[in-house]
Amino acid sequence: MTKTAREKMMAKINAHAKKLDAIKKKTEVKTYREYILDFITEMDDICITATDEVQFLIDIEACADMLIGRLRTIDPGIHAEVIFNNPKDWKDLRAVGVTITWSDNYRKLNQGIDEQEFVDVTDLLFMN
């Protein structure tokens, strides 16, 4: 059986729509909570692949720096700090939360947000 001209055109339209959706997803701006979730996923990957304490700490610090860089795409004047638990063994190190202090300019543009916010990782994971 051959496809009719209408079926061929619909197939082209659907393929084009899928391409546009993929482009749209790439250009969507993430929220700061989504960036923190990405950080947690990356940190879990580091925990799995780490072979020694030094490499682990270097990778975790780089990951935390990357999170802060991503948060600065939302607010260039942001101050953020990742809070970790205090384990006895480096293999048990986990992020507890992220303290975010928004800049004055960002607060002026976004009325109603608090100057400082603590994003609890556990609450964040249960919300998603």
What is the side-by-side order of every strand in the sheet holding 116-120?
79-84, 95-101, 116-120
Host domain of residue 123: 30-127
| Assigned domain for 18 exists | no
pTM for the structure as a whole: 0.73
| Assigned domain for 40 exists | yes
- What does DSSP assign to residue 111? T
Cβ distance 112 to 44 under 8 Å? no
Domain count of the chain? 1
pLDDT in tens, the chain (128 residues): 467 888 888 888 888 778 777 766 665 678 899 999 999 999 988 888 888 889 888 999 999 999 999 999 999 999 999 999 988 888 888 889 999 999 999 999 988 889 999 999 888 888 76
- ∠ Cα 17 22 24 (to 5°): 90
| Assigned domain for 51 exists | yes
Predicted local distance difference test score (pLDDT) of residue 2: 61
Predicted local distance difference test score (pLDDT) of residue 48: 86
Predicted local distance difference test score (pLDDT) of residue 68: 94
Q: Six-digit token pair at 97?
A: 């939360």
| Assigned domain for 115 exists | yes
| Assigned domain for 8 exists | no
